Amino acid sequence: MKSLLADHGVSFDANTIMNALIKAGHAENHEYPSTTGNGVMKSFKRLTEAGERFGANKSTMHPFKTEPRFYEETFTELLQVVVSQLQHEVSSLRSMTE
């Protein structure tokens, strides 16, 4: 994601984009129990079925963890989803203060 952001001169960071995609239903936090057996829950972000039009969940070194890899071809559309989500959040804030 960082290279796509840099290549397109986008001022959002990866966390902002992923959080907006989660709120828009295109990504999710997937929880799993720690493999150390201490009962702690951990999580990672992955694309939902709807979000897979923007990229793919690629395997990592961990047996069941994945990380999103985004497509260059749909990056502009992904940014439109992010901006729309952020505009919705701003509108919600405005209506709360009026």
Domain residue spans of the chain:
2-91
**Average confidence (pLDDT) over 85-91:** 94
**Average confidence (pLDDT) over 42-47:** 95
pTM of the model: 0.87
Kindly indicate the confidence band of residue 93, based on its pLDDT and cuts at 50, 70 and 90: confident
Q: From CA 78, how far away is CA 63, in angstroms rounded?
A: 28
Is residue 27 scored above 80 in pLDDT? yes
pLDDT reported for residue 97? 74
Could you tell me if 82 and 12 are in contact, meaning their C-beta atoms sit under 8 angstroms apart? yes
Tell me the percentage of the chain whose pLDDT exceeds 70: 99
